[in-house]
Structure formats: C-alpha cells, structure tokens
Amino acid sequence: MSTHKETSKPSLPRFEEAEPLGPQDAVFVQELVAVLERHGNLERFGLCLLHDHFPLAEGEILAETTDAETRTLHTRVEKVNRTKHSKPTQWRFLPGVDHSRRVEFADDPYEVVLVCDPYSGCPPQK
C-alpha cells in the first residue's frame, strides 16, 4: 500500500462540526441515486459523512473488525505496511489527486479511508 503526504489533501471537519445530509441536499441525493442505479450500484454503494475524530499520520490507515457475538464494530489505526486488512470499505474522493493509499488504485482520484479483512471477522463469518 502506498500513501501520500498529509498536505496533499484537504482537511476534514471534526465530527461535531460536520454537516449531515439535510433537505438542502435532496437534488444532490436524487442525482446520486440515479447515477448509482444507472450503473447497477444502488445496492453496492451509499454515502458516509466524512469527518475526523483525530488525524492520521502518513503511513497510517483505519482498519475495521467486527465481533459477531457482541454485535460490535471496532475501528483502529494501523500502519499501512503492516496491516492484514485488505478489502477497502470506504473511499474519499479527492479532486486533483492522482493517487491513493492503495497501490492498485494509484491512478484513481480517491483515497481508501477504511479497510477490512474478510478473513478476520469483517464481515462476521456465518
């Protein structure tokens, strides 16, 4: 996995300051739903509120695991070059940025925000 310098991306608002979806976003959401539907991705992708709780250093990524018994989702910071989590689950679009934290997406204008390891309980095994 490759990383880019923190200065190459705009900062995110803190969670408390991030504005959630509201009535003013109705047209945007309708257009987004139409694009997802047109490409057969309505059941595959959705939206998340981009925000920061704390900064990530260069070479770090958020990794998620689940505990099916307690029905909890856990997110923690891991070193990109040491994580065993391999499946991206959240992306951030970055205008003007030609690379991401993941080598296989190096030419795309997005950054992988969160990864998961499908073999370590994320998603939980049935």
Could you read off the pLDDT of 70-116 as tens digits, one per residue? 888 888 899 988 888 778 888 888 776 554 444 444 556 677 778 88
- Of 42-46, 69-73, 115-119, the poorest mean pLDDT is in 115-119
Predicted confidence band of residue 7 (pLDDT cuts 50, 70, 90): very low
- For 12, which DSSP code? P
Distances (CA, A) of 126 to 67, 68, 70, 72, 121: 12, 9, 14, 15, 10
Q: What's the burial of 14, exposed, middle or buried (CB within 10 Å: 0-12/13-18/19+)? A: exposed
Dump pLDDT digits (tens) for 51-61: 888 888 888 88
| CA–centroid distance for 40 within its chain | 20
Please state, in angstroms and rounded to a whole number, the distance separating the CA atoms of residues 110 and 126.
32
- Of 7-11, 85-89, 121-125, the poorest mean pLDDT is in 121-125
13: nearest Cα among 52, 49, 47, 48: 52
Find the helix or strand (DSSP H, E) in which 72 lies: strand 72-79
Sign of CA dihedral 116, 119, 120, 125: positive
Whole-model pTM? Answer: 0.67
